[in-house]
Amino acid sequence: MISRREMLQLGLAGSAALTGLGFSNLPRAFAQQALTQDQLLQFEDFGNLTLIHLTDCHAHLRPVWFREPDTNIGVGDAKGRAPHVVGEAFQKMFGITPGSPEAYALTWPDFADLARTYGRMGGFDRIATVVKAIRAARPASILLDGGDTWHGSYTSLKTRGEDMVRVMNLLGAQAMTAHWEFTFGTERVQELMEMMDQPLLGANIFDAEWDEPAFEPSKIFETGGLRVGVVGQAFPYTPIANPGWMFPEYSFGIREERMQQVVDELRAEGVDLVVCLSHNGFDVDHQMASRVKGIDVILSGHTHDAIPEPVVVGDTIIIASGSHGKFVSRVDLDVRDGKMMGFRHKLIPIFSDVIQPDPDMASLIEEIRAPYKTDLEEVIGKTEGLLYRRGNFNGSWDDLICDALLSERDAEIALSPGVRWGASVLPGDITREDIHSVTSMTYGQVYRSEMSGEMLKTIMEDVADNIFNADPYYQQGGDMVRVGGLGYSIDPYAGMGSRISGMTLLKDGSPVDPARNYVVAGWASVNEGTEGPQIWDLVENHIRAQGTVSPAPNNSITVTGD
């Protein structure tokens, strides 16, 4: 059994010592001097096995700014529970001092100011340094990649995911699972799997025709005298949230009984520990932990949550390791007699100005970027305010993208997908790389079509139910579809079909008429044969035409209910 006593060394980087120093008002150089690599890596070894987890990097090879959400509503049992706590409430829940490095890494308040103090986070050359240090201290360790690794950047799009396979091979990842990987299409996934040094595990990926397992479900790792079973769980709704026609051979789904079956088989094999490498999303993992018996650790991905403590459900611990390379989780375990007796965990923040880059990884990244360097670094325009995306409703990046859709395609209403990936941009230059960070994908065509008011309402209700359904097994993750030219009210706690009200056409303030057709521009359609310019070109043209953009607060969405 796990005792609360074993949950030592929680939180970030020896948080008590750091927050006590009161970084918030110090100049950046001093803050960096006070924050050291040794502090970030400081960890009192525990037990006999270490899991190293990273997930949802979305191909961001270099350090990024990434503002965490200001709105992350939890429904049903998840209400008020991490990760559905943001900002000051999050700081309070985990004992984080406002303005501290942890506050910058994990919450949104004062983001732009703190970003200037503490610098960018992530970068695979820094991650490599951290992984090497952990492995040196803990020979019995397993490095696991939760997926959404091959997608999300200019270089990953140009190399069709190959850059990330090379990086993960050099890093020494030992298994991965997947979601956006499949948007490169079945053939490319199979090509890249040939190049991978590690298996792509997916117990819930089935052959669509015969309804039989199509991928390796699990792998047993032997290390430090232990046998560790790792089960992969790919994103259950990949063919629904993304274009299923790109990988029609495969069927996904939560398949809870299948997970139980694979766990039981591993237990029957006599493994000492069962780990689920999951791309379910946090709330789905929480529910699965309460229903599937025999999983010791769930390494959770998909919903991009960074939680500084393990979440304990029965005898299972769930680890949420954030996104975009901002964090690496180290989980030390005491495994004896086929049981997990205790754990010690640290969500290691990758402060890129503090952690030394690993030279081998740094040169691989440079090699990958070299052919595209001029294109990546070209400055397209300037922004006067912070551009960010993450949050349940429109962020300033999305507002800018919606403005681009409206003006470049002469539309009344714009729709932009509520994805959770994409880095933030501080006031200053916007480069082509920044635009690709929030738009890169294999189906980025911008459509222009007519939709009735009734159809628009149906779409918004449908998306809202996929996010705010009270049963996590019906949630697909992601955030609400972003809209331009349209205002609305939403009650996330209401039922399917009755969450959205007060839809208003912003250009004239008229209520949206169910019977009238509206000209709508949008991107990332899951339908085959969508035609139009690529979203990144359209956004680039728009920013170029503006020269300087000035993000304004979005007051056209009202959130109600409780």
Partner 1 sequence: MKIDRRDVLVSGASAAALGILPWAALAQDAEPAKTLDELIAEFTGGVEATEGEGITLDAPEIAENGNTVPISVEAEGASEILVLAPGNPVLPVATFKFGELAGKRAASTRIRLAQTQDVTAVAKLADGKFVRTAANVKVTIGGCGG
Q: Which residues bind partner 1 (CB under 8 A)?
A: 180, 210-212, 235-242, 244, 251-254, 257, 417-421, 458-459, 462-463, 465-466, 471, 473-474, 476-479, 481, 496, 524-526
| Cβ proximity to partner 1, 55 vs 476, nearer residue | 476
> For residue 486, what are the β-bridge partners?
505
Please tell me whether the peptide bond between 83 and the residue prior to it is cis, using omega within 30 degrees of 0.
Answer: yes
Three-class secondary structure of residue 255 per DSSP: coil
Min dist. Cβ of residue 205 to partner 1 (A) = 12
Q: Residue type for 339, please? A: K
Cα(133)–Cα(472) distance, integer angstroms = 37
How many helices (H) does the chain have, and how many strands (E)? Answer: 19, 24
| Cβ proximity to partner 1, 68 vs 479, nearer residue | 479
| Cβ proximity to partner 1, 6 vs 479, nearer residue | 479
Cα(511)–Cα(496) distance, integer angstroms = 21
Min dist. Cβ of residue 47 to partner 1 (A) = 36
In the numeric block, the tokens 């086929």 are attached to: 338
Min dist. Cβ of residue 30 to partner 1 (A) = 38
Min dist. Cβ of residue 255 to partner 1 (A) = 8
| Cβ proximity to partner 1, 165 vs 419, nearer residue | 419
Q: Sign of the C-alpha dihedral, residues 494, 496, 498, 502?
A: positive
In the numeric block, the tokens 């090699």 are attached to: 367
| Cβ proximity to partner 1, 91 vs 251, nearer residue | 251
Asked if 505 contacts 486 with a C-beta cutoff of 8 angstroms, the reply is yes
| Cβ proximity to partner 1, 138 vs 390, nearer residue | 390
| Cβ proximity to partner 1, 459 vs 519, nearer residue | 459
Cα(355)–Cα(337) distance, integer angstroms = 37
Asked if 144 contacts 112 with a C-beta cutoff of 8 angstroms, the reply is no
Nearest 10 degrees: Cα torsion 549, 522, 432, 181: 140
Min dist. Cβ of residue 334 to partner 1 (A) = 36
Tokens at residue 345, please? 């965990």
| Cβ proximity to partner 1, 63 vs 417, nearer residue | 417
Min dist. Cβ of residue 252 to partner 1 (A) = 7
Task: Give the Cα-Cα-Cα angle 168, 169, 172 (nearest 5 degrees).
Answer: 85
Min dist. Cβ of residue 93 to partner 1 (A) = 26
Three-class secondary structure of residue 87 per DSSP: helix
Min dist. Cβ of residue 238 to partner 1 (A) = 8
